[in-house]
């Protein structure tokens, strides 16, 4: 479970830290830039954001959201990694202090939840940047 949380956090942060390409945030179809379809709790396969004909302002706002989310996720990932080191120490020393192990796991779980909440908030913010027509186009492209 612990490794699953760390792996998910690493994957999420790696995706969020990708630069925004010419196709806009999360286009996924540019020259290796942005995220693929379905990222950020996304809309599934299809044309992604690159097919939405985003305005320059929309691209800029999405890039700002991506940078902010990336910073937050990396900060939270650092907390998770710190706790992972504690967990390794606890289990590698022979007898396990169950109270400390539970506390460490709880901190990791809270960090994972914080990342999830950040992703949900980002999704709302991204949706607010898109027009109703763009959001509908994404829904249809699932």
Q: How many domains does the chain have?
A: 1
Nearest by Cα to 123 from 10, 27, 38, 19: 38
CA atoms within 13 A on the CB side of 32: 0
CB burial of residue 32 (10 Å; 0-12, 13-18, 19+): exposed
- Provide the domain limits for residue 124: 2-140
Cβ-proximal residues to 75 (8 Å cutoff; 6+ apart), any chain = none
In order along its 142 residues, the chain shows pLDDT tens digits of 555 444 444 444 444 444 343 334 444 333 333 444 444 444 335 336 778 889 999 999 999 999 999 999 999 999 888 888 888 888 887 788 889 889 988 999 999 999 999 999 999 999 999 999 999 988 888 6
pTM for this model (two decimals): 0.60
């Amino acid at each position: 479970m612990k490794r699953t949380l760390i792996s998910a956090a690493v994957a999420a942060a790696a995706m969020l830290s990708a630069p925004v390409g010419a196709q806009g945030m999360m286009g996924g179809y540019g020259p290796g830039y942005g995220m693929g379809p379905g990222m950020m709790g996304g809309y599934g396969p299809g044309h992604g954001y690159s097919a939405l004909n985003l305005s320059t302002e929309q691209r800029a706002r999405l890039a700002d959201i991506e940078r902010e989310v990336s910073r937050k996720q990396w900060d939270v990932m650092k907390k998770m990694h710190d706790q992972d080191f504690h967990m390794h120490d606890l289990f590698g020393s022979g007898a396990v202090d169950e109270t400390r192990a539970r506390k460490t796991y709880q901190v990791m779980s809270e960090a994972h939840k914080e990342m999830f909440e950040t992703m949900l908030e980002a999704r709302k913010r991204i949706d607010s940047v898109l027009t109703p027509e763009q959001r509908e186009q994404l829904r249809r492209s699932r």
